[in-house]
Amino acid sequence: MAFGFVFPGQGSQSVGMLAALAPADEAPIRDTFVEASTVLGYDLWQLIAQGPAERLNSTECTQPAMLAASVATWRLWRSRGGPEPEVVCGHSLGEFSAVVVAGALDFSTAIDLVRFRGRAMQEAVPAGSGAMAAILGLEDNEVIEACREAAEGGGVVEAVNFNSPGQVVIAGARARVEQAMEAAKRRGAKRAVALPVSVPAHSSLMSSAAQRLGERLAAVHFRTPRIRFVSAADVSAHSDPADLRQLLVRQLASPVRWTQTVRSLAAGGIGTLIECGPGKVLSALNRRIERGLTSLALEDAGSLQAALTAVQA
């Protein structure tokens, strides 16, 4: 059965990630982090292995760490005889991992880009003024209406991550996010949970960051991907290098349409999705989106071997 790889974004990081997957001195892990550290000018492996968590969780450090961890996992998969998937896609930051794995962007170039992306996102809004929250148990349109109600007096709050049925993340100015959370509860939301981030990712408040990233990307060389790449920003496949460049700019201030993307992949014949990177956030979402889909995660040595066996059977 056809299978695809999905790559997680910011929020799946943790100190010690990859420790259960393979030894640090195994070539795909070691070489990937040496390459990333050379670009960054600091020991990225030491940061993810030892912390501190506060630094790892800063957007500027999280984004290179997640990209390196996902690419290292991919390279380990290939070194163990894992075949290439029919399609790749990523959640938010994970789209950079997907584009690298698809062969459209050099890893070292991508590391520098996501460090810049994280810095631009942090600088786009004053510290503490932005917020994100997860709304659970409401239809998508009800969350959108709650945001519209909260924004009537001015300010920004928007639905930005359509993660699974009944789970939508909102983002914007802190006060408006808090008002939208209350509006969602009035509409019957089971829970409205503030997320421990201050960068309102994928909202229109990221427009200045997207513009800065676009200026940086203008000089970056992209290739035609050898693996089909589908974006969660527009639920479409992209192969033209110019389109990929524009997509990575646009997605920074556009919603992540994960539910639609997973359903589209399943409808197109993908029977298994394998999460390539730390954690299993996407695998849990995928199971809620499409119950007939096999969802696997490469989180440790055992699950890596199980996934290899599943696709080679």
For 205, residues 6+ apart whose C-beta sits below 8 A from its C-beta are 124, 125, 130, 156, 171, 172, 173, 253
Q: Mark whether 207 is an active-site residue.
A: no
Task: For 36, list phi and psi in degrees, rounded to 5.
Answer: -65, -45
Burial of 56 (0-12, 13-18, 19+ CB in 10 A): buried
Q: Mark whether 202 is an active-site residue.
A: yes
CA atoms within 13 A on the CB side of 294: 14
Among 12, 37, 70, 92, the active-site one is: 92
Burial of 158 (0-12, 13-18, 19+ CB in 10 A): buried
CA atoms within 13 A on the CB side of 206: 31
Cα separations (Å) of 290 from 64, 142, 230, 271?
30, 22, 17, 10
Residue located via tokens 């696997």: 296
Element housing 237 (H / E): strand 236-238
Q: Which residues pair with 172 in a beta bridge?
A: 131, 157
Task: For 218, list phi and psi in degrees, rounded to 5.
Answer: -60, -30
Residue type for position 283? S
Strands 87-90 and 3-7: parallel
Among 70, 91, 202, 254, the active-site one is: 202
Rounded CA separation 152/200 (Å): 19
Instruction: Show which residues are catalytic.
Output: 92, 202
